[in-house]
Chain A
Amino acid sequence: MTAIFKREFKSYFSTPIGFIVIAAFYFFLGLFFSITFGYGSPYLEQVVMAMSTIVVFAMPILTMRLMSEDKRQKVDQALLTAPVGLTSIVMGKFLAAMSVFAIGFAPTVIFEIIIMTKVSVNILGYLYALLGMLLLAGALTSIGMFISSLTESTVIAAIISFIINILVLYMTSFASMIKVEWIANIINRLAFITVFENFGGLVFSVADIIYFLSIICVFIFLCVRSLEKKRWA
């Protein structure tokens, strides 16, 4: 797993992809921070919440080549014939994408320190929002990685991931179109944006955490199955 993790992590920075995504994170984090802090709000969770739109676009770029590129270059033959389990291959790649994401969010720590030197705020609010962001990114990464494992084309992987990310995040907009109330309610409750926003209000809820964790597990499992399926095709 470490071998795969190291190689994937490095490959983000041997191409411009890693740098571009991190630069985009830094730019928007800085922008949102200067706006909210400029208006006198000491709540960093607002910045973290606002970043969800950026993450929706950034994660497919991080995940698009995770699996598809291996297939296209036939490197999967080396991975799948090496004495490594499929789960560790998938986990290595998942953690590599998550690490790049984590680097992208590192500046918020500095922001929080800046805020704390000026005013006294409850740091838990920021930490809980950050946890929510981590879980959301994890869910989007696992979905993107699964989609990447279905195709050999990085472009197709990226586009489909975008579409699915927007669907799962903002399916609340469809809920208003549905006349049957209970279905609309379910859609509203399951939309990633609803769950994610709960993390911004310091309303601690185990259900929200478990929801994202189970999404991550399901898609990592599906991704492993998708690699396994190739053997039986």
Chain B
Amino acid sequence: MIKVTGLSKRYGTHLAVENVNFEIAKGEVIGFLGPNGAGKSTIMNILTGYLSMTQGKVEIDGFDVAEYPEDAKKRIGYLPEIPPLYIDMKVREYLNFIYDLKKVKFPKKPHIDEVLKLVKIDHVQNRLIKNLSKGYRQRVGLAQALIGNPDVLILDEPTVGLDPKQIIEIRNLIARLGRNHTIILSSHILSEIQAVCKRVIIINKGQIIADDTAENLSNKLSSDQSLVARIACSEKEMYEALSSIKGVKSVTSLGKKEEGSFDFVIEPENGVDIRAAVFERVVSRNRTLLSLTSNKVSLEQVFLRLTEAADNNEARKLLGIEEIPQITEETNEEEN
């Protein structure tokens, strides 16, 4: 449905997006994840035809955005970072305008009624957008993207500024829309991406550093199956007790995290499940096991580790991806 090849965008001397490639199949819901200024919005603006690319090609449903902009744009609903609203219009009036602007073919009134209901703004349809709260404006922006029922939805941080209840509502809505739309969602909120997207593209400094399912990403990064145990005991005694368990490779004490207890990281030998053994050992010493958790990294940690890596090649190494040369010869020539 969406095919991006060799996409680069240069602002003056600053390279905002560098050689980005990905493909999104029909019906996929993917998340763009990246810190602020990573180039998420720039990529989205290029996909929707708002900005041009310096290099590369974007195809929406087979239509090149640069060559057949109108055919490509017809298939996209776009919610930019700041919802594009005429604040001097009423909600319904504004949606009518967008309907006319997009030259939608569906019957007008029922279609707009449907969209209003879908994003739950039918009760504010006769209010001026100026007087709506940020959350409602965001939803009007989403409604605007849904007008004309486009195949592709590109949503740039759709839940920013919403309260927790609204966030859950919008998330559910996106999940529902995901059944029959292709959706690209950007966010720096990880739980959000985890909740609605199967596939995650992590972007840092204008490059894609990871493109995989959220699960695979955290598996790849956490080769260790170590456990973290919090035990009410004395440090030295328990350290020895834990180290002598069969199948334990190493034990590291993390020191006192909570009054009267110590934390230990217990690393098992490959493929050995030591959880029961740890529990029994603690009980046999008449001590109390307060908690036992997996040390597996969350998507949040994946994200931090990848984006805090000194450069993108280092980040790729963490994931076991081959290095790619940072600057291609072609761009070098251009600079000269």
Residues of chain A touching chain B, judged by Cβ–Cβ distance below 8 Å, are 2-4, 6-7, 11, 14-15, 73-85, 231-233
Contact = CB atoms under 8 A, between A and B. Distances in A.
Interface pairs A-B: 3 shortest CB-CB: A3-B100, A78-B84, A83-B73
B82 interface: yes
Contact of A81 (B11, B76, B85, B87): B76
Interface string B17-61: 000000000000000000000000000010011111000000000
A75 B84 CA distance: 4
A3 B80 contact: no
A82 B99 CA distance: 10
A79 B71 CA distance: 15
B144 interface: yes
29 contacts: A3-B101, A4-B101, A14-B88, A14-B89, A15-B88, A73-B84, A73-B86, A73-B87, A74-B82, A74-B84, A75-B84, A75-B85, A75-B86, A77-B45, A77-B78, A77-B84, A78-B84, A78-B144, A80-B50, A81-B48, A81-B49, A82-B102, A83-B73, A83-B74, A83-B102, A84-B103, A231-B50, A231-B52, A232-B52
A79 B144 CA distance: 11
B97 interface: yes
Say what secondary structure dominates the interface of chain A: helix
B297 interface: no
A76 B98 CA distance: 12
Contacts of A79: 84, 101
Contacts of A82: 73, 98, 101-102
A83 B85 contact: no
A81 B78 contact: yes
A6 B94 CA distance: 11
Nearest to B52: A231
A91 to B, nearest CB: 14
Q: Which of A15, A81, A232 has the most CB of B within 10 A?
A: A81
A97 B271 CA distance: 75
Given A74-B80, A83-B102, A85-B70, A3 B97 contact: yes
Contacts of A75: 84-86
Contacts of B48: 81
Interface string B171-208: 00000000000000000000000000000000000000
A3 B102 CA distance: 9
B57 to A, nearest CB: 16
Given A77-B50, A80-B49, 13 more contacts: A2-B100, A7-B89, A11-B89, A14-B89, A74-B80, A77-B78, A81-B78, A83-B69, A83-B74, A84-B70, A84-B103, A85-B70, A231-B52
Contacts of A7: 86, 89, 97
A74 B144 CA distance: 14
A108 B80 CA distance: 46
Nearest to B88: A14
A6 B100 CA distance: 10
Nearest to B97: A7
A20 B102 CA distance: 32
B73 A81 contact: yes
Q: Which of A2, A6, A73, A77 has the most CB of B within 10 A?
A: A77
A79 B50 CA distance: 9
Q: Which of B11, B51, B76, B101 has the most CB of A within 10 A?
A: B101
Nearest to A89: B101
B85 A84 contact: no
